[in-house]
Structure 1
């Protein structure tokens, strides 16, 4: 069983993907974490959105040690912003595309895999058995992300998180390569007024047919 879960930032796609993987005993890959790892490495090299270029980003991507589990350093909005920037670079996406498909071809769980990201159903796994597209009102998503960052000890203001999220949405949805889009065969779930249990129940009902 191969499941693709796409969606916008803080929509709940990661939570759904993890819970589906646990429910069906499938391997799980958070593809957004891969781009965040590239973003973090770029920031640690003193690069930012104004001076990073594709050659630098590809060099960083190629040098990543993907056997190392990403830590909490990737879970902040500065890294997320840089991840969104490098994710718009076609050579970076090409480097990571092979890795993602290899993960699906050789999953760590016998039953299959769940991948979540922004182009899984459209580009990475167009033939996935099940596809979900998760979204929510941007104010709701910004509130969720603000709470998450506060819970992680980061001092942020809602309006700044909202502004950053709007900019990220703009990049993700309008980039030339692999834009964030719901495919015609994806089940769209709006999580604005739903908790994690309700979202999982909707997904399971669809899979059960």
Structure 2
């Protein structure tokens, strides 16, 4: 006697397979989504340019700082979005831009010759500085790659946060729009400066193990030095 294809003994294995496949798809989707919005480190909030900073605040226009981990692939999107924000700013209001790339105390070309650094050096009007040991980044409270800060000539904070919708994601987003508005003068009072999350790798900071760390024997005698063009 033959078993019909719609017999209950066939339905259970098929149902179990379909359910297992659906669960697997959901787990993969959840894993990818969770990573996209993962925040590796929390920054320390500030409301003004640190007095102990060794960087130079522009006296006649806003100053924008972008803190980077040179080996963070997600930060390529942050650079693209920052360039878009600056391009959308009227020429007379465009800021002084400093890209602060944190590197370990001992580092080599694996840290300085990266796609992220190359794109940083091609950013119009920007200067790239290597922050050895992350000491300068720590003064500003930055903790994640892709963190953008904008300051008025007075030193008041205008914007702090990321400029991407999620990790490594390019496209119009609230961070980029908020930064553009801040640079154009369409921002709230300094104490109400927009602050948004940053999606990127943890920066190389003092007293911490540097993520994606590589070995090298090149040691800088200064805390900051400019990338050669």
TM-score, length of structure 1 as denominator length: 0.24
Q: Structure with the greater relative contact order (CA < 8 A, sep ≥ 6): 1 or 2?
A: 1
- Higher helix proportion, which one? 1
